[in-house]
Structure 1
Amino acid sequence: MRQVLENEYLKVSVEDHGAELVSVYDKENEREELWQAEPPYWNRHAPILFPNVGKHHDNTYRLNGKEFRTSQHGFARDREFVCISKTASVLTHKLVSDEETRSYFPFDFELYITHRLEERQLSVEWKVVNTSGEIMYFTIGGHPGFRVPIWEGSRQTDYYLLFQKGPALKYKLVYGDSGTADAAGEYTLNLEEADGYYRCPITEHMFDRDALIFDDTQVEWVGIGYPDGTPYVVMECEGFTNFGIWTMPGGPYICLEPWMGRCDDYGFAGDIYDKKDVITLKEGETFDKSYRMTFYK
């Protein structure tokens, strides 16, 4: 079932399946802002990544020597959530662990996803409650895709990535087709300062090796700029340890991905608690995090 939040500026739609944001319609500009899962490209809109961002090495989660088979980005995006609360501007979904999830992820949990609409801003809030009798380890992330190009007659390569930090950022790439990070390689994204931002153009081959992976809380503010350099959409994600930027090569969209934790490094074979940036949640504790998107005219 599809739930709707709406004000004078935006109409936002969220599916119960995956608690996934599937539409942000800009009423003033009369256009859809979110990628609409169109073939032959990516068939999602803005999935929630839980209990793992990206892939574990060899699709295996290890805890105290025991192995659990996993898949890319976890199971939450493919599960039915229950809508437990709804007003004109705030919507909350809930997912609870069961026998099936425990075969993949050996913990009991409650996962709450809240979408909050205020004027031209949409916030996404996560709450994870550890209801098991042991320490829980996980990563969690967002994956919204935005239509780029958005102006008629423009090309994706006419647009910019915008940042508040500069003049350069360090990033990693995916190792081959493993879905895990090439920890040995580090690259530099050089930025120019213009109109109060640090920016770089979106180039044709920028994503030939999958996502750009930023670690160490480098990216807490990022946007996509119109061809004239002004912001189209901005994401704020204060305190997020990791960030990904991605599109399928040739795809007319760009994903801005705020992560708490990320895919394994290629070859990582340790227990999950040894993984960098993994979230550790004690019995009965709650994890809360949120990010915000602003859509400009």
Structure 2
Amino acid sequence: MKLENQYLLVEASEDGAEITKIYNKEDGTDIIWEGNPEFWKRHSPVLFPNVGKTYKNKMLINGEEYTTSQHGFARDSVFECVESTDSMVSFLLNSSEETKKKYPFDFKLFINYYLEGKEVKVEWKVENTGNETMYFTIGAHPAFRFAKKDEVKSDYILKFPGKDQLEYILVDKETEDGMGTAIPEEKRTLKLENNTYVLNEEIFDNDALILDGTQIEEAWVCHKDGTPYVGMKCEGFPSFGIWSVKDAPFVCLEPWMGRCDDRGFNKEISQKNNINKVEPGKEFLKAYTIIVA
């Protein structure tokens, strides 16, 4: 599906309801990672019904354990396009007997994209169509590719307007049960200079940086000279991820409504920090915006 105006061409797929392309007509650059499997096969997956990993790859719901996969099943599901114009597209995923084997709730998940000027608004709507309270986390994972061939991470800086430093935690990469879950007790500081941090390979040696506490409401990828390249506004998201792959010419900025489990978390999903809760017949709505400079 295509969205297009005088500034941008945006493409999105029914496979995972994923944005696969944002093309800047003004300077001829592709903003979204092309999905080269040498580094990472995806573009901008939707993370649902769990962001990241759960402890022991299990989710406890109403006393029953369900086996989870990293980032949930939505990114590997085929959505239905239910509306499409030059400026918006809406994708729908319905719960099914297959999804209930992994996640027992009845739901409708809408992923909506709106193009206006040089901005792409990404909206998530989750409807609880069942008769019990529904719990989930949901997140974004857009990968922004570097503008020119042969550019590397140190050719770019991250900018966080109004911030002097950020606090982050890492994920467990050592224990079998906790692999990929967060270690919240080991907090680290990312010091900024003039609200910026120069990208480098070493910052991702331990996988993603997780920033909790609604620290990030605006973030930018800028060229080394400070010129803005692509940005994001994401107000009211309790967690935010920054991630890349070694030597890959992209960086992911990831606003999350909830995140991976803390290492050792083995309680009911309803007791998880920053879990989203939707009562029967109600809906959840949240959005963030990608801005092309």
Q: TM-score normalized by structure 1?
A: 0.95
Q: Deviations over 1:33-65 (max 9, x none)?
A: 110111310100000000000011011000232
The reply to whether residue 226 of structure 1 matches residue 227 of structure 2 is no
Q: Using the alignment, how far apart are the partners of 1:35 and 1:141 within structure 2?
A: 18
Partner of residue 182, structure 2: 181
Q: Runs of 5+ in structure 2 lacking a partner? A: none
Number of the residue aligned with 1:289 = 286
Secondary structure in 2 aligned to 1:61? strand
Check the 8 A contact 2:151/2:249 in 1, yes or no.
no
Deviation at 1:250, TM superposition (A): 1.4
Taking only the aligned residue pairs, the percentage that are identical comes to 46
Give the match for residue 268 of structure 1: 265
Match of 1:97 in 2: 95
Retained in 2: the 8 A contact 1:165–1:219? no
Counterpart Cα distance in 2 of 1:284 and 1:155 = 48
- Whether contact under 8 Å (1:165, 1:218) holds in the other structure is no
Contact 2:152 2:247 in 1 (8 A): no
Give the alignment of 1:72-111 within 5 angstroms. 72-111=70-109
The one-letter code of the counterpart of 2:281 is: G
**Structure 1 spans left out of the alignment, 5+ residues:** none
Show CA shifts across 1:7-32 (max 9, x none): 11111000011111000111111121
From 5, 14, 29, give the equivalent of 1:31. 29
Give the Cα–Cα distance (whole angstroms) in 1 for the partners of residues 226 and 12 of structure 2. 30
Say how many residue pairs are matched.
289
CA-based RMSD of the aligned residues comes to: 1.0
Matches within 5 A, 1:31-70: 31-70=29-68
**Residue 197 of structure 2: aligned partner:** 200
State the TM-score, normalized to the length of structure 2.
0.96
CA distance in 2, matches of 1:217, 1:155: 29
1: CA distance, partners of 2:37 / 2:84: 32
Spell out structure 1 runs of 4+ moving beyond 6 A: none
| Alpha-carbon distance in 2 for matches of 1:184, 1:26 | 42
User: Which whole-Å deviations, capped at 9, do the CAs of 1:118-174 have from their partners, x for residues lacking one?
Assistant: 1111110000000111010100001000113x2356432121011023211100101
Amino acid in structure 2 at the alignment position of 1:174: V
Is 1:122–1:293's contact at 8 Å kept on the other side of the alignment? yes
SS of structure 2 residue aligned to 1:206:
helix
Q: Relative to structure 2, which stretch is displaced further, 33-42 or 121-130?
A: 33-42
Contact preservation (8 Å) 1:18, 1:77: yes
Counterpart secondary structure, 1:184: coil
Summarize deviations over 1:259-297 as a string: whole Å, max 9, x none: 00000011111111111011011111100000001111x
Matched with 2:121 is 123
Instruction: Label 1:290 to 1:250 Cα distance change in 2 as closer, same or farther (>3 A).
Output: same
Query: Cα deviation per residue 1:159-216 (whole Å; 9 max; x = unaligned)?
Result: 10110232111001011151111122100010111xxxx1110022010101000111
Q: Secondary structure at the match of 2:224?
A: coil
Q: Residue type of the partner of 2:94?
A: V
Contact 1:35 1:147 in 2 (8 A): yes
Aligned CA distance change for structure 1 residues 65 and 153 (closer, same or farther; 3 Å): closer
For 1:267 and 1:67, locate their aligned partners in 2 and report how far apart those are by CA, in whole Å.
15
